[in-house]
Structure formats: C-alpha cells, structure tokens
C-alpha cells in the first residue's frame, strides 16, 4: 500500500502508477478525503526493490497483512459510500431495500414499488432469475421480469437491485439493473464474481450460509479484482443446528465486518428468518448493531406470492416497520437514505 502525501499532485500520483505498472505490478487507487492510497498487487520483491519513498509525493509504503487487500480497513480507513443515482448506502446512512422476492406481474410490481417508496424505501428489489432448491419451483420471468423492474423504476425513481445467477445472463441483467445481486449460493462462484466486477456496476454480495466472514471478504476481493470496488456486503443468516427459523441471523457479523472492512454492510432479515413476524425485530436489531441498511421482502399479497410468501411483509406491515425505523435511526445518528 503506497500512501501519498496530502500535497501530492495528480501528476505525481500518475507517475507512481506508471512506475508500478512498468515493474509488472497492478495498481488500484483509493481517494480519501485527505490522502490518496495506491494498492499494489504483484511480486512482493518487485516493490521492495523499488525506492518508492524516494519518489516525489510518496509519504510511505505499508504492507497489508490481511489476505483480502483492497476491501480491508488497512487499505482504506474511511467508510466507502455507494451512490446509485443519488441513493446512498454507507457513510452514516441507513438504506432500506424493499420489494417482492420475485417479479410476477406488472400490477404487482407497480403497486409494490409505489408502496415501498411512499413508506421510505430507497431501493427496489425483485427477482427475475430465481435460484430455487427445487428445479420444479417458479424460476422467475427472466428478461420479461427485468422489463417490469425497469418499468417500476420509471414510475418511482427507485434504483433496482436484482440477482444474477449465470455469467451468460450478465449482459441482459446489466442492461436493466442498477445493482447486481450475487446470492448466497453463488458467493464462491469465482468466475461470476470476476465477471460481475468487470461490469463496474455496484454489486450486493450475500454471505453464503456455510461461509465465514473471512470467506465473504475474500469473495468481495474477487469482485475488486474484476474491476469494481462498489461492493455492498450482505449478512443473510448462516446454517446452524437451530430449526426454529430458516437460518440463524448472525448480527455479530455486522460490527465484525465494520471493523475489518470499509465496505457498507446490510442485513437480509427476510431470508435469514423465513418468517414475516421475525423480520421487524431483526431489522431493528440490524440497525442497532450498526448495519448500513436492510433488504426486506414486501409483497402486496403474501399469501398469493409465487416465492417465499411466508417471509414477506404486506404493505401495511412494511409501513409499520418504517415507522419504527425512523425514530430509532435518528436516535442512533443515522440518516435514512432516500
């Protein structure tokens, strides 16, 4: 990690990058409020043999000890803020991502989008390509579903978060989506992570239900290697011996991640618990432990949902939840992202 002086000029920063690349090293720039840091990947000896601190504008060179380099707090001290068309995640805001598990009809998406926006959501979620445990379950409307998501965005202005399952679909999904979601089952699909990074789009990366925090961060590093540093980490529950809920929501992961990484961290209480009545308390718990947002499933009529109806809040339930979030967020010094 090459730390530039506060007074370093753009020409000096570019000169350092040129020197690194000439030596066969890769450079990744992080611009903070006061200083620019250049992350370096490659042969350790190559940079050790370079008199970096003699180059004008360089303050010092610091080795990063973590196996994940660019997503670590060692590389960047300031919190990363992901800005999607003016809607922010991270940096003291609390963003609510809401919408149905799967896109079903135009009427469903229009009503859901208008309702979650009116209640205070900052992003709209919806699945067009659905990963299901059973191959006979509803698999999503695919591109037709993406078109309905885009139409909902036109009606409300809410950025769209939707899941990608296969690199073969990346171009069509990138055409319609604002944020690519990589689900728990694909957290260690390294080819998909790299390709998602190459789009340079924001990526919401869910923790696998059998994965450690370190493994989640290493997965995020793959996305950075692909080319995108706009990553949102998502805790969505891990598999334990407990059967009272769908998974065990690991809220301890939130402050641990906030210590280890500069990336924003959100929580998915819907998939973690599998029960709509558990979503509000777990959402408030996520807010209390420092999460940068939540992803909540909301359906106009959960009992008719084609996917995950038992964990979806209805529209009134979501309104009630947002009414609880707002005063608690204010007490904690968090500003609701809109």
Write the pLDDT tens digit of every residue in 150-172: 999 999 999 999 999 999 999 99
Length of the chain measured in residues: 338
pLDDT, tens digit (0-9, with 9 covering 90-100), for 219-253: 999 999 999 999 999 999 999 999 999 999 999 99
Structural domains in the chain, sorted by start: 2-61 (3.30.70.1140), 82-336 (3.20.20.70)
According to the model, what pLDDT value does residue 137 have? Answer: 60
Q: Where does the pLDDT of residue 134 fall: very low under 50, low under 70, confident under 90, or very high at 90 and above?
A: low
**How far is it, in rounded angstroms, from Cα 223 to Cα 191?**
10
Phi first, then psi: give them for residue 319, nearest 5 degrees: -60, -45
pLDDT exceeds cutoff 90 at 278: yes
**pTM to 2 decimal places:** 0.89
Listed residue (282, 275, 283, 281) closest to 309, CA to CA = 275
Asked whether 203 and 232 are in contact (CB, 8 A), the reply is: yes
- Summarize the confidence of residues 114-138 as an average pLDDT: 82
Token readout for 282 is 């777990």
In this predicted structure, the answer to whether residue 136 has a pLDDT above a threshold of 60 is no
3-state SS record for the chain: CEEECCCCCHHHHHHHHHHHHHCCCEEEEEECCCCEEEEEECCHHHHHCCCHHHCCCEEEECCCCCCCCCCECCCCCCCCCEEECCEEECCCEEEEEEECCECCCHHHHHHHHHHHHHHCCCEEECECCCCCCCCCCCCCCCHHHHHHHHHHHHHHCCCEEEECCCHHHHHHHHHHCCEEEECHHHCCCHHHHHHHHHCCCCEEEECCCCCCHHHHHHHHHHHHHHCCCCEEEEECCECCCCCCCCCECCCCHHHHHHHHECCCEEECHHHHHCCHHHHHHHHHHHHHCCCCEEEEEECCCHHHCCCCHHHCECHHHHHHHHHHHHHHHHHCCCEECC
Decide: 103 and 109 in contact? Cβ < 8 Å: yes
Which range (22-31, 75-84, 294-303) has the least confidence? 22-31
How far is CA 70 from each of CA 31, 85, 89, 235, 243, rounded to the nearest angstrom?
13, 24, 19, 20, 37
């Amino acid at each position: 990690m090459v730390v530039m002086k506060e007074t370093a000029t753009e020409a000096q920063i570019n000169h350092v990058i040129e020197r690194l690349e000439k030596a066969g090293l890769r450079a990744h720039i992080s611009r903070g409020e006061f200083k620019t840091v250049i992350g370096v990947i490659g042969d350790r000896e190559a940079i050790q043999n370079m008199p970096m601190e003699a180059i004008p504008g360089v303050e010092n060179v610091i080795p990063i000890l973590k196996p994940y380099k660019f997503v670590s707090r060692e590389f960047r001290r300031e919190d990363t803020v992901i800005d999607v068309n003016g809607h922010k995640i991270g940096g003291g805001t609390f963003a609510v991502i809401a919408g149905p598990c799967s896109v079903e009809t135009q009427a469903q998406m229009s009503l859901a989008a208008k309702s979650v926006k009116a209640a205070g959501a900052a992003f709209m979620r919806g699945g067009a390509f659905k990963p299901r445990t059973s191959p006979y379950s509803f698999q999503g409307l695919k591109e037709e579903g993406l078109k309905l998501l885009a139409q909902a965005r036109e009606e409300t202005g809410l950025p769209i978060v939707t899941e990608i399952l296969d690199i073969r679909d990346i171009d069509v999904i990138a055409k319609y989506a604002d944020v690519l979601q990589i689900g728990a089952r694909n957290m260690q699909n390294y080819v998909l992570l790299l390709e998602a990074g190459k789009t340079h789009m924001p990526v919401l990366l869910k923790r696998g239900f059998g994965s450690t925090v370190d493994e989640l961060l290493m997965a995020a590093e793959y996305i950075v290697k692909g080319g995108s540093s706009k990553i949102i980490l998502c805790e969505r529950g891990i598999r334990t011996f407990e059967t009272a809920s769908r998974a065990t929501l690991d809220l301890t992961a939130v402050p641990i991640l906030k210590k280890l990484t500069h990336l924003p961290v959100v929580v998915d209480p819907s998939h973690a618990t599998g029960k709509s009545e558990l979503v509000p308390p777990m959402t408030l718990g996520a807010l209390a432990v420092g999460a940068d947002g939540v992803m909540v499933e909301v359906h106009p009529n959960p009992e008719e949902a084609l996917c995950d109806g038992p964990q979806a809040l209805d529209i009134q339930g979501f309104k009630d939840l947002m009414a609880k979030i707002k005063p608690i967020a204010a007490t904690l010094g968090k500003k609701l992202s809109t």
